Structure 1
Amino acid sequence: MATIKDVAKEAGVSVATVSRVINKSPKASSASVESVTKAMSKLGYRPNANARALVSQSTNTVGVLVSDVSDPFFGTLVKAVDDVAHQHNKHILVGNGYHNADEERNAIELLINSRCDALVIHSKALSDEELIRYAEEVKALVFINRNIEALPGRCISLDNYKGAFLATEHLIRNGHRNIACIASSHAIEDVEQRLAGYQDALKANNIELSTSYVEYGEPDSDGGERAMTNLLTKSLPITGIVAYNDNMAAGALSVLEENQLELPRQMSIIGFDDALIAKYLHPRLTTIRYPIKMMAEKAAEIAIALSKKATIETEPMVYSPTLVQRMSVERNML
């Protein structure tokens, strides 16, 4: 395998000149660039990325931590960060945390040790204190879907409470009072916030329901199926359902169809996220839009700006969810 010394010998220049060409130094003459480039091509030499980083103090990479990149929600997040990174001639490294403290910690450590220029972190399992320590160590680190008061300007989050309140209130305005909630079984703040929004919307409209109206499951279609099956087994007079996300809503819809319930006449349902699947379910899913693409783009822009030591605003950035009306909610006439 060719070395930098081999390239220098082939090009008839010094090792320092080869290094300047590799790192695109303005001090490298056009003649040097041409001769070194030809030598590298002839010898099949590939510059070592770590060596370049040591000289330039940049790896041209942005690290991203998500829960599970196979989830379409996090796929959208990663794609948005990648789009912004490419605009700045950078690439991304992705780690999965699976909402597990050890996994999140290991992934963050790996991204830091990989000398990423900037980090966009979606962490739900680690404490505020531990994340603050990481933020103090890495100045170009931004958190998404997390609001830590001690880090203003470096946290981008969604008002999950408001989203669930909107969803529940939309069903109530359509005449529904026996409204069930399909919640995620993950022990994260999003679940608590959305459950509180659901419960407070009921209270605000003088509706009292037992805890039997709430079922938990994994935040995917299988979890939605199991939660919906459990709700039907209880024989509750449910006419409306608030789902934790669109994937759980999709699973619930399949169970309702299997049990020959006419949708949405006999059962209305509303999701959360406005994922791509929401447009193609039958009936098309009314949902709460989570502007994850916009939020991820903003997080990436801030992280990259911080890596360049730019000044950023120090105001908290909490985005608002909005209602997307489609065909899965109908006025209750029963």
Structure 2
Amino acid sequence: MATIKDVAKEAGVSIATTSRVINNAPNTSQTAIAAVQAAMKKLGYRPNANARALVSKSSNTIGVLVNDVSAPFFGTMVKAIDTIASEQEKQLLIGSGYHDANKERNAINLLINSRCESLVVHSKGLSDDELTTLAQEIPGMVIINRTVPAIADRCIALDNHRGAYLATDYLIRNGHRDIGYICSSHDIEDAHDRLAGYLDALRDNGIEPKDHFIEYGEPDECGGEQAMVNLIAKNTPITAVATYNDDMAAGCLALLQENGIRIPEEMSVIGFDDGHIARYIYPRLTTIRYPIQVMASEAVKLSLMLANNVPVERGEQKLFMPTLVRRASVCQRQ
């Protein structure tokens, strides 16, 4: 394990200078900063916690990176991880990345420097290459809800394309052909895959997709409401709408009801996730179940095994399948 003394020797500067660079102290020359940073990279040194400390049992902490800790979806994910952590007598440290590369990077570095033994990372901002480099450095790092080809055996993901295909195909089998789609405006693979699933289901059933049947918004209730406003304003002749997630579906339902449009008699709506909100809005939401609890449990178990050098059967990524949940917001078109 490299020490600050090793870094100072490699950089050709004093330990005091090395410490100033590490702690971003003022009055440090650019030459010294460059030399110390190069030495740290070469030696794999991290301030306060070399990455190898993740497997040293020097702490009982699991690091978790989510998009937004306040979002119900990620609350469910964290709860599932915490259940396993409690069984193992470990604690959680949680960071939010907000789908932003710099914020995700800073949060991961903080978790590493806090000597987390394992990491469960939900990242949409960092590149595949950077996540691969981190995974090579951090034995106990597992990626959830994303596929990174170079480290596929450390990825736990959902077939988002399949889920949106199921949702759209279910509407078609209920007699709907003019089907709108409310999509997340975030530039992430989940949004791309779900939109592609919607489009492929239409084409496979002989229905030509229409661009003006698709609206984008923030993946929350307000975004879903505004997207539905836009669809109504354009006077689209849709009889059903599929949505990126349950939160957007909830906003959509509220807007429709406020405008006197009966659900599902005049407009069928289907969500995605099967979160808590799907069970308690009216009418109860037909949706696609995202098994995030099971996925999160699998991810943290794998992370702990890897961090503790427990032999793991390596193979392809673990790809989970979504399922349809029939409730009351979709009906047969007359």
TM-score (norm 1): 0.83
The whole-number CA distance in structure 1 between the counterparts of 2:119 and 2:172 is 41
Q: Which residue of 1 aligns with 2:318?
A: 317
The whole-number CA distance in structure 1 between the counterparts of 2:326 and 2:186 is 27
AA matched with 2:329 = S
- Give the secondary structure class of the aligned counterpart of 1:209: coil
Count of matched residue positions in the alignment of Structure 1 and Structure 2: 282
Q: Which runs of 4+ in 1 moved over 4 A?
A: none
* 2:203–2:209 CA contact under 8 A, matched in 1: no
Deviation at 1:153, TM superposition (A): 2.2
Deviation at 1:307, TM superposition (A): 1.3
AA matched with 2:118 = A
AA matched with 1:81 = I
Deviation at 1:208, TM superposition (A): 1.2
The whole-number CA distance in structure 1 between the counterparts of 2:294 and 2:272 is 16
The whole-number CA distance in structure 1 between the counterparts of 2:328 and 2:74 is 26
In the TM superposition, 1:173-192 aligns within 5 A as: 173-192=173-192
* 1:178–1:209 CA contact under 8 A, matched in 2: no
Q: Which residue of 2 aligns with 1:331?
A: 332
AA matched with 1:112 = I
Deviation at 1:184, TM superposition (A): 0.3
Q: Which residue of 2 aligns with 1:113?
A: 113
The whole-number CA distance in structure 2 between the counterparts of 1:187 and 1:263 is 30
AA matched with 1:121 = V
Deviation at 1:314, TM superposition (A): 1.7
Q: Which residue of 1 aligns with 2:72?
A: 72
Deviation at 1:152, TM superposition (A): 3.1
* 1:118–1:307 CA contact under 8 A, matched in 2: yes
* 2:158–2:322 CA contact under 8 A, matched in 1: yes
1:115-166, Cα deviation, whole Å (9 max, x unpaired)? 1000000001111000001101100000000111211321000000000000
AA matched with 1:124 = K
- Give the secondary structure class of the aligned counterpart of 1:313: coil
* 1:222–1:251 CA contact under 8 A, matched in 2: yes
TM-score (norm 2): 0.83
| RMSD value, Cα | 1.4
AA matched with 1:294 = V
1:40-76, Cα deviation, whole Å (9 max, x unpaired)? xxxxxxxxxx9xx99x742100000000011000000
- Give the secondary structure class of the aligned counterpart of 1:153: helix
The whole-number CA distance in structure 2 between the counterparts of 1:218 and 1:327 is 25
- Give the secondary structure class of the aligned counterpart of 2:252: helix
The whole-number CA distance in structure 2 between the counterparts of 1:166 and 1:58 is 46
Note the residue ranges of structure 2 that are not aligned, 5 or more in a row.
1-48
The whole-number CA distance in structure 2 between the counterparts of 1:87 and 1:142 is 19
The whole-number CA distance in structure 2 between the counterparts of 1:300 and 1:135 is 15
Q: Quick check: 176-185 or 206-215, which moved more?
A: 206-215
Note the residue ranges of structure 1 that are not aligned, 5 or more in a row.
1-49
* 2:178–2:239 CA contact under 8 A, matched in 1: yes
The whole-number CA distance in structure 2 between the counterparts of 1:60 and 1:209 is 52
1:72-119, Cα deviation, whole Å (9 max, x unpaired)? 000001111111111111000000000111111110111111110000
1:270-309, Cα deviation, whole Å (9 max, x unpaired)? 0000001101111100000000000000000000111110
The whole-number CA distance in structure 2 between the counterparts of 1:326 and 1:184 is 23
AA matched with 1:63 = G
Q: Which residue of 2 aligns with 1:298?
A: 298
* 1:153–1:312 CA contact under 8 A, matched in 2: no
Q: Which residue of 1 aligns with 2:124?
A: 124
AA matched with 1:297 = S
Q: Which has the larger radius of gyration?
A: 1
The whole-number CA distance in structure 2 between the counterparts of 1:246 and 1:121 is 23
- Give the secondary structure class of the aligned counterpart of 1:151: helix
- Give the secondary structure class of the aligned counterpart of 1:215: strand
Q: Which residue of 2 aligns with 1:281?
A: 281
* 1:178–1:238 CA contact under 8 A, matched in 2: yes
* 2:139–2:306 CA contact under 8 A, matched in 1: yes
* 1:152–1:314 CA contact under 8 A, matched in 2: no
The whole-number CA distance in structure 2 between the counterparts of 1:141 and 1:262 is 48
AA matched with 1:210 = K
Deviation at 1:209, TM superposition (A): 3.1
In the TM superposition, 1:1-334 aligns within 5 A as: 57-315=57-315, 316-333=317-334
The whole-number CA distance in structure 1 between the counterparts of 2:201 and 2:210 is 14
The whole-number CA distance in structure 1 between the counterparts of 2:181 and 2:152 is 33
- Give the secondary structure class of the aligned counterpart of 2:202: helix
The whole-number CA distance in structure 2 between the counterparts of 1:122 and 1:210 is 33
AA matched with 1:248 = M
AA matched with 1:330 = C
Deviation at 1:313, TM superposition (A): 2.2
